[in-house]
Chain A
Amino acid sequence: MALGNKKLEDLLNPISEQLGHANVADNVEMPEWEFKAKRVTDGLSAAELVDLFESEAGKIRVTAKRCTKDTLAQTIAEIVGAGVPDSGDACSVVCADEEAFAEIGLYDALRASDKVTDLHVWDEQAGQANVDKAYVATYGITYASAGIAESATIVQPTSAKCGRAISLLPLVHIAVVNARTIVPTMLEIMQAYAASDEKLPSQVCFISGPSATADIELVRVEGVHGPMYVNYVIVE
């Protein structure tokens, strides 16, 4: 048979034949599963889940801080103000375009900070310039859609208001997580997406700590291609 330009049937037919199926079934019912796994988070209260999220964050080298809606802007400004090693004098910040951020006055607080040399709020009209800003930024700030207690993971969907670059290119990622959105395991997130009628975002990124590698002699090094430092700010 000639190479390339194969149709779906060319891929499916040998599989069906191997399985002894005359043709591909129109519908396959999922069976009743026999096993359901017990998870370490079973039976934890909402408050305990937040505690677990925070303690697991510590284990994966994330700095976690708690605050309230009223102190959120101040808390973030303090993190940015504290600086990070080797980042030089310039301190540029790229931020997701979140209503919640505008509402609590985050953008104003950052502009008012004498540490911040440049603040860029994600703007779909600006196109590639957003990515260019993120490329040189020290801090990227996003609002996670949820947190996962078991593994201290934050759930970061991509949208027109929050590009992939914000949580990826800057030296530091600051992720805001609402305590009420912290769920026990990834299963609850998956179930919520499965139950939703909306199309999945082009990307949902599950982030658990700084970018890391152990490729050279198994020595752990943080900050490979993504952020070297990750902060979670838990809003209660």
Chain B
Amino acid sequence: MSILYNTEATLAERVDECLADDFKHNAIKAAQEAFYVKRGELVEEMGEGWQQLRMHAMEVRNHVTENLDYYVKQFAQNAEANGCVMHYAPSGDDALWEVLDIFESHGATYAVKSKSMMTEEVGLNEVLEETGIKITETDCAENILQTAESKPSHIVVPALHFNRSAIADIYREKRGYDGTDVPEEITHFLRKILRHEFMEAEVGIRGCNFAVASTGSVTLVTNEGNGRMVDSFPKVQIVFVGIDRIVPDLEALDTMMALLPRSAVGAKMTAYFSLDSGPRGTGEVDGPEDVHIILMDNGRHELANSEFQDMLRCMRCGACLNICPVYRHITGHGYGSIYPGPMGLVLTPGLVGYDDIDNMVYACSLCGACTEHCPVSIPIHDLVRQHRINIVNQGKNHKIEVPIFKALGLFWSNKPIYLAGMKLGAPIMELLGHDGALDASSTWIPVVKNWTSTRDFDILSKSRFRTWFKEHKAEQKNTEGGEQ
């Protein structure tokens, strides 16, 4: 996979498909509500402290962005001093090259992996599998997706689009599962089959939530413990770190960790949070002997010092997805990007440009709920709008938009045309509609059907507002006069 997927279908086709899948968007809705409620309780408990934390996180992240070259260098040097082997990847392809090189130099052919968006971004699994390397996803949901050959529909709970019996069937067919459809039984089956793999694999591949510049440490936030398994038992470890994951010091790490689990899943902490500083120490018998850090840019630096600079504060919590009314309906599969939802609308074109994203940045009502919920106060909806402005300014919008807006401009700025149009509007609409509205029966009309196939469009009133207002005022005057 790379950042974009399922691009053979148009955005509209993907959205239609998702809207037709009731189980899928009901599952997403349930997830949104669960996370929303739990997050809300914790935010309330913190009182004014929550806003202070957000503001502090923003100033810290901005400071890092403004000095990004310095902090990237400091992190790299300190991680190296900790005994990690550093690999620098200006592009995603550089990262793939380095990973293949690491496998080759260790003679390794078997890896376990804990969920990492950076590896999705570069399509690591596909590349490794092509070269004959076995790679097992170990996060429950990711393992379900890998076994079913499917894609994530949510960034925190990615396999929500499968119900329990579908998941049980997948494992019955592919892994010889013979239990019931009960989630607990399926999960414990996964515990059993994956446990063995953690011990056998030669390489562990993982991501990094925050990298600490002052100590050269990488961190991992998980609930299941698969991240800990991956970084405890394989002898070789590969850590993917984005240059936008860096915090200056350990105190800043605490600020981010006070915000991340609360925003992501509505918990004060996840079950596990590990702070890793180099390979196993003297006398230690578990933990990796070799740690390779892939420090990757892949287009991120272009966001710095640009109108999208605020996006570099993003900590990938998913809070914006959990509040988004559009995401609720079109789900993660509608967008066609591994980064879906509001944050994805900003980040995806930021990383891949405007040419291949279809109308993605219009999958947003600009309501601003995401901005309000963002733990690092990214003005997400403003940035979505900025993408739209850029698309128009670069002439990459639909060619028909210009004549349409010109015609509408003429209509509204020319009084005789406007009045004639308003007079004709009501009778024409009445002819086409029923009971005071253009309803689903009007879907044979091109353009109009895009609205009326899902919603009614009220028929224009025959009287004008100004006329009504004049009468209303006169009536009021009469009434008041009578009272005096």
Residues of A within 8 A of B (CB): 3-8, 10-12, 14-16, 18-21, 24-25, 28, 30-31, 33-40, 56, 60, 124, 126-128, 130-131, 135, 148, 150-151, 153, 158-161, 163-165, 168, 185-187, 189-191, 193-194, 199-219, 221, 223-227
User: What separation, in Å, do the CA atoms of A186 and B53 have in the docked complex?
Assistant: 14
Which residue of B is nearest A216, CB measured? B183
Residue in B250, B254, B278, B281 whose CB lies within 8 Å of A159: B281
Knowing A200-B275, A218-B160, A225-B229 are in contact, say whether A127-B56 is a contact too (CB < 8 A). no
User: What separation, in Å, do the CA atoms of A227 and B225 have in the docked complex?
Assistant: 9
User: What separation, in Å, do the CA atoms of A21 and B69 have in the docked complex?
Assistant: 9
Knowing A11-B88, A158-B281 are in contact, say whether A163-B59 is a contact too (CB < 8 A). no
Residues of B within 8 A of A (CB): 27, 30-31, 34, 45-50, 52-53, 55-56, 59-60, 63, 66-73, 76, 82, 86-90, 93-94, 97-98, 101, 138-141, 144, 157-160, 162-164, 167, 183-184, 186-188, 190-191, 194-195, 198-199, 214-215, 217, 223-226, 228-229, 231-233, 243, 248-251, 253-255, 257-258, 267-287, 295, 297, 301-302, 304-306
Knowing A11-B90, A163-B285 are in contact, say whether A193-B68 is a contact too (CB < 8 A). no
| 9 interchain pairs, CB-CB under 8 A | A6-B94, A200-B82, A213-B140, A215-B187, A218-B31, A221-B187, A224-B225, A226-B225, A226-B272
Which chain B positions have C-beta within 8 A of A206? 269, 272-275
Tell whether, in the assembled complex, residue A191 and residue B250 are in contact, meaning their CB atoms are under 8 Å apart. yes
User: What separation, in Å, do the CA atoms of A108 and B221 have in the docked complex?
Assistant: 37
Tell whether, in the assembled complex, residue A127 and residue B285 are in contact, meaning their CB atoms are under 8 Å apart. yes
Knowing A160-B284, A186-B257 are in contact, say whether A203-B297 is a contact too (CB < 8 A). no
User: What separation, in Å, do the CA atoms of A168 and B228 have in the docked complex?
Assistant: 8
Which chain A positions have C-beta within 8 A of B277? 199-203
Tell whether, in the assembled complex, residue A216 and residue B297 are in contact, meaning their CB atoms are under 8 Å apart. no
Q: What is the minimal beta-carbon distance from A97 to any residue of chain B, in angstroms? A: 10
Tell whether, in the assembled complex, residue A12 and residue B228 are in contact, meaning their CB atoms are under 8 Å apart. no
Q: What is the minimal beta-carbon distance from B274 to any residue of chain A, in angstroms? A: 5
Residue in A16, A163, A165, A200 whose CB lies within 8 Å of B69: A16
Which residue of B is nearest A59, CB measured? B268
Knowing A205-B272, A224-B224 are in contact, say whether A219-B305 is a contact too (CB < 8 A). no
Given contacts A16-B69, A135-B199, A224-B187, 12 further A-B contacts (CB under 8 A): A4-B94, A15-B304, A39-B49, A40-B46, A126-B285, A160-B285, A168-B229, A190-B251, A200-B215, A202-B277, A207-B272, A217-B160
User: What separation, in Å, do the CA atoms of A164 and B397 have in the docked complex?
Assistant: 54
Q: Which of B194, B199, B254 has the most CB of A within 10 A?
A: B254
Tell whether, in the assembled complex, residue B281 and residue A8 are in contact, meaning their CB atoms are under 8 Å apart. no
Which chain B positions have C-beta within 8 A of A5? 97
User: What separation, in Å, do the CA atoms of A6 and B300 have in the docked complex?
Assistant: 17
Tell whether, in the assembled complex, residue B301 and residue A4 are in contact, meaning their CB atoms are under 8 Å apart. no
Q: What is the minimal beta-carbon distance from B173 to any residue of chain A, in angstroms? A: 17
Knowing A11-B72, A35-B55, A212-B271 are in contact, say whether A202-B49 is a contact too (CB < 8 A). no
Which chain B positions have C-beta within 8 A of A165? 232-233, 286
Q: Which of B47, B89, B199, B284 has the most CB of A within 10 A?
A: B284
Which chain A positions have C-beta within 8 A of B68? 15, 19
User: What separation, in Å, do the CA atoms of A203 and B423 have in the docked complex?
Assistant: 75
Which residue of A is nearest B71, CB measured? A28
User: What separation, in Å, do the CA atoms of A7 and B273 have in the docked complex?
Assistant: 31
Knowing A19-B69, A160-B284, A206-B269 are in contact, say whether A40-B45 is a contact too (CB < 8 A). yes
Tell whether, in the assembled complex, residue B69 and residue A168 are in contact, meaning their CB atoms are under 8 Å apart. no
Q: Which 3 A-B pairs have the closest CB atoms?
A: A160-B283, A226-B225, A4-B97
Tell whether, in the assembled complex, residue A219 and residue B184 are in contact, meaning their CB atoms are under 8 Å apart. yes
Q: Which of A7, A14, A206, A217 has the most CB of B within 10 A?
A: A217
Tell whether, in the assembled complex, residue B275 and residue A168 are in contact, meaning their CB atoms are under 8 Å apart. no
Residue in A16, A34, A60 whose CB lies within 8 Å of B55: A34
Residue in B48, B295, B304 whose CB lies within 8 Å of A11: B295
Knowing A187-B251, A215-B144, A224-B187 are in contact, say whether A12-B72 is a contact too (CB < 8 A). yes
Knowing A37-B56, A216-B183 are in contact, say whether A159-B284 is a contact too (CB < 8 A). yes
Tell whether, in the assembled complex, residue B279 and residue A202 are in contact, meaning their CB atoms are under 8 Å apart. yes
Which chain B positions have C-beta within 8 A of A10? 88, 90
Q: What is the minimal beta-carbon distance from B115 to any residue of chain A, in angstroms? A: 11
Residue in A28, A194, A209 whose CB lies within 8 Å of B271: A209
Q: Which of B158, B233, B248 has the most CB of A within 10 A?
A: B233
User: What separation, in Å, do the CA atoms of A223 and B277 have in the docked complex?
Assistant: 27
User: What separation, in Å, do the CA atoms of A39 and B217 have in the docked complex?
Assistant: 25
User: What separation, in Å, do the CA atoms of A90 and B270 have in the docked complex?
Assistant: 31
Tell whether, in the assembled complex, residue B76 and residue A202 are in contact, meaning their CB atoms are under 8 Å apart. no
